[in-house]
């Protein structure tokens, strides 16, 4: 049934809501365990758990949480881990926690999210939102399938201080918030795992306290005390990694090629790639077309653009060039790239131009995760783990995706650019005190590019992130960070 056709009557919707309450416990068990072993918690989970605790203690500010993120990133798992926490640790009864998937609600039942929540309060709890006495928890998956999700959340937030909301959805949730709702929302975006989270979930090896923040300070401050503290944390980390069953370099390469999605922790590599490739197709079919109406012929064009981006070496991609190759208009290419960015399947890096200066150079595009790039290459027969060039491409993808995550979550760097000059460095980060040039290297590279960039942009220092460095060091104005160490940021 399509949305809006034969809408459910209140009796049917009431039966549906009661059914969701009854099946939630079994759904939860299926989602938070693998082979009877509970999945470890990610950082996002711990932040949301803190908001739950504060809410139950009477703090009413952070009670409308959204978790935007790419498909397959583990958002549903986090929802069900919160469900289990509420039941087992906080003693919240099953009838006070509603888990609902808006994809199912709207696609098959033609109902609105607000209607389902209203039925939950009126039919299950026999009261109104305004008159609620007990705290209720509403866990909403795939919220973006209801175009009015943010208005729904805002109305409920304003009507009752007794309802705690968590909405997950595609990364486009961030773009779809109306202004009134945005003031009430606490955003907790979910990203692919870094090497730190991977080791927690896969190997039960925890990073030293302040590991990530010490690396952030090193990159964005670059002073001696930051260098000293980051080096100290790096040494602690290296001692922890002795517990690994194989050399850390092998563990890291396996992570780089196929392990930054939580579902892939215990799969073989081919299974991971099949699952990721399927996820990419679902992003195209479900998320892209829910964000913008394209005709059906455009489906093939979107796939070809994704293929082109996966197979090219890192470098600028102009809409005109892509349009010529695919025999499509630059306007359509621009629209597709823009929508793919909104889903977070890809991220763009623009050429750097000094204040107010427009640079007419192509943008660079990267996948949010190296695994996505590797999966597409694998499906197309362009994949060889012994190819050092491929390792370099994936390493560059990892570095820029981590900078993007930092920008989205901690608002630093202020901007991520590339140097469009001849033999320019890979990235230019806009910090509080100017530009920080960054070069990413696999294999031997000299220091000439980074030195040139430091002089060109009058930078206090530059950074080389490389597998040719075994530990954090500083040589003149250049800070060297091993790729493995950087992966803990």
- State the residue range of the domain holding 354: 196-486
Instruction: Work out the percent of the chain whose per-residue pLDDT is above 90.
Output: 65
| Structural domain contains residue 5 | no
> Does residue 423 come out as left (phi exceeding 0), alpha (psi in the -120 to 50 range) or beta?
left
* pLDDT, tens only, 280-297: 999 998 888 877 888 878
pLDDT, tens digit, 9 for 90 and up, residues 94-150: 999 999 999 888 887 888 999 999 999 999 898 989 988 899 999 999 998 888 898
Domain-located, residue 396: yes
Last residue of a domain, one of 140, 175, 190: 190
Q: Six-digit token pair at 279?
A: 């996820």
Residue 59 resides in a domain: yes
* DSSP E strand boundaries for 97-162: 97-101, 136-141
Residues 121 and 205 in one domain: no
pLDDT at res. 40 = 84
Over the chain, what is the mean pLDDT? 90
Three-class secondary structure of residue 139 per DSSP = strand
Alpha carbon distance 76, 340 (integer Å): 22
Res 423: pLDDT: 86
Same domain, 147 and 292: no
145: helix, coil or strand?
Answer: helix
181, pLDDT greater than 90: no
On whether both 143 and 264 belong to a single domain, the answer is no
Per the structure, how many domains does the chain have?
2
Q: 234-243 long-range CB contacts below 8 Å, 24 or more apart?
A: 234/471, 234/472, 234/485, 235/471, 236/208, 236/211, 237/207, 237/208, 237/211, 237/485, 237/488, 238/471, 240/205, 240/206, 240/207, 240/208, 241/199, 241/205, 243/203, 243/205
Residues 200 and 178 in one domain: no
Give Cβ neighbours of residue 266 (< 8 Å, ≥ 6 apart).
34, 202
Distance of CA 92 to the CA centre of its chain: 30
Q: Work out the number of other CB atoms within 10 angstroms of the CB of residue 117.
A: 23
pTM of the model: 0.89
- Which CATH number fits the domain that encloses residue 53? 3.40.50.300
Claim to verify: residue 21 and residue 87 sit in the same structural domain: yes
263 in the same domain as 167: no
Residue from 199, 200, 227 nearest 214 by CA = 227
pLDDT (mean) for 239-257: 95
Given 190, 221, 245, the domain boundary residue is 190
């Amino acid at each position: 049934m399509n949305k809006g056709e034969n809408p459910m009557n209140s009796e049917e919707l009431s039966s549906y809501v009661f059914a969701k309450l009854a099946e939630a416990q079994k759904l939860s068990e299926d989602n938070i365990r693998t082979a009877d072993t509970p999945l470890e918690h990610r950082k996002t989970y711990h932040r949301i758990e803190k908001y739950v605790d504060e809410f139950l203690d009477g703090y009413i500010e952070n009670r409308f949480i959204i978790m935007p993120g790419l498909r397959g990133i583990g958002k549903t798992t986090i929802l069900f881990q919160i469900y289990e926490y509420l039941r087992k640790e906080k003693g919240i009864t099953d009838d006070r926690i509603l888990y609902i998937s808006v994809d199912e609600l709207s696609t098959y039942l033609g109902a609105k999210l607000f209607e389902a929540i209203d039925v939950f309060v009126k039919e299950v709890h026999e009261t109104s939102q305004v008159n609620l006495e007990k705290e209720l928890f509403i866990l909403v998956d795939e919220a973006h399938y209801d175009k009015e999700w943010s208005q729904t959340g805002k109305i409920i937030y304003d009507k009752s201080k007794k309802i705690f909301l968590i909405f997950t959805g595609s990364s486009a949730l961030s773009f779809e918030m109306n202004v009134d709702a945005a003031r009430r929302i606490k955003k907790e975006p979910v990203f692919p795992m870094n090497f730190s989270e991977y080791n927690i979930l896969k190997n039960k090896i925890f990073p030293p306290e302040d590991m990530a923040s010490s690396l952030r300070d090193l990159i964005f401050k670059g002073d001696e005390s930051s260098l000293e503290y980051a080096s100290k944390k790096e040494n602690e980390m290296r001692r922890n990694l002795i517990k690994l069953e194989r050399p850390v370099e092998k563990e890291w390469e396996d992570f780089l090629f196929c392990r930054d999605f939580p579902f892939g922790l215990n799969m073989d590599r081919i299974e991971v790639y099949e699952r990721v490739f399927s996820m990419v197709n679902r992003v195209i079919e479900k998320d892209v077309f829910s964000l913008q109406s394209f005709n059906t012929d455009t489906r093939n064009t979107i796939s070809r653009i994704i293929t082109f981006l996966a197979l090219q070496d890192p470098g600028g991609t102009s809409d005109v060039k892509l349009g010529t190759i695919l025999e499509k208009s630059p306007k359509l290419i621009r629209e597709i790239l823009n929508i793919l960015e909104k889903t977070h399947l890809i991220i763009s890096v623009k050429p750097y131009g000094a204040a107010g200066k427009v640079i007419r150079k192509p943008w660079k595009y990267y996948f949010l995760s190296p695994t996505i790039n590797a999966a597409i290459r694998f499906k197309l027969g362009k994949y060889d783990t012994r190819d050092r060039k491929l390792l370099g491409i994936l390493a560059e993808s990892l570095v820029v995706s981590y900078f993007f995550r930092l920008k989205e979550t901690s608002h630093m760097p202020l901007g991520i650019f590339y140097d469009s000059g001849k033999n320019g460095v890979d990235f230019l980060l806009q910090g509080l005190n100017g530009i920080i040039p960054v070069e990413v290297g696999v294999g031997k590279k000299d220091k000439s590019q980074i030195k040139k960039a430091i002089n060109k942009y009058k930078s206090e220092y530059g950074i080389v992130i490389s597998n040719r460095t075994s530990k954090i060091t500083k040589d003149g104005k250049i800070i060297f960070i091993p790729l493995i160490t950087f992966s803990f940021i």
